[in-house]
Structure 1
């Protein structure tokens, strides 16, 4: 049962992580610029210093157009 115990421990330790410790953090999705194909995760918008429009939606750092928000899939990935 050694391999079974190892797998069980690996899943248990990953489930005990605090929010924000995973590679995806607490991300709910990403902002996309359809013109430039620029992508910025929602949790990175402030760190990247993006300007925002009157509604608070980030503006593309490359072309200045309003970006579109796309929710993460059910897997937790904001890709």
Structure 2
């Protein structure tokens, strides 16, 4: 195997994910506080113990404002 084949194999394997790595944890996106810049994934809201508004929207733990939901645009994290 030449150097080109080795480099191609390394690049190809670095973009593949193992079946149990990451995976689909049911997340649809994240909640953001625009003022504080705080981000909490939707599947972590309850674990973080965030209070919620009357409309069931998580409230920012730093400033108390309602957080904005933003959907994930790809299959990776909701960054």
Task: State the TM-score, normalized to the length of structure 2.
Answer: 0.71
RMSD: 2.7
In 2, the alpha carbon distance for the partners of 1:40 and 1:24 equals 17
User: 1:77 aligned to 2:69?
Assistant: no
Distance 1:57 1:29 in 2: 14
| Count of matched residue positions in the alignment of Structure 1 and Structure 2 | 71
| Distance in structure 2 (CA, Å) of the matches to 1:73 and 1:60 | 23
Q: Could you say if the C-alpha distance between residues 24 and 38 of structure 1 is closer, same or farther in structure 2, counting changes exceeding 3 Å? A: farther
Unaligned 5+ runs, structure 2 = 1-5
Q: Which residue of 2 aligns with 1:67?
A: 67
Residue segments in structure 1 that go unaligned for 5+ positions in a row: none
Does the aligned pair in 2 maintain the 1:24–1:77 contact within 8 Å? no
TM-score normalised per structure 1: 0.71
**How far did 1:26 drift?**
1.9
| Alignment partner, residue 35 of structure 2 | 35
Match of 1:53 in 2: 53
Larger CA Rg, structure 1 vs 2: 2
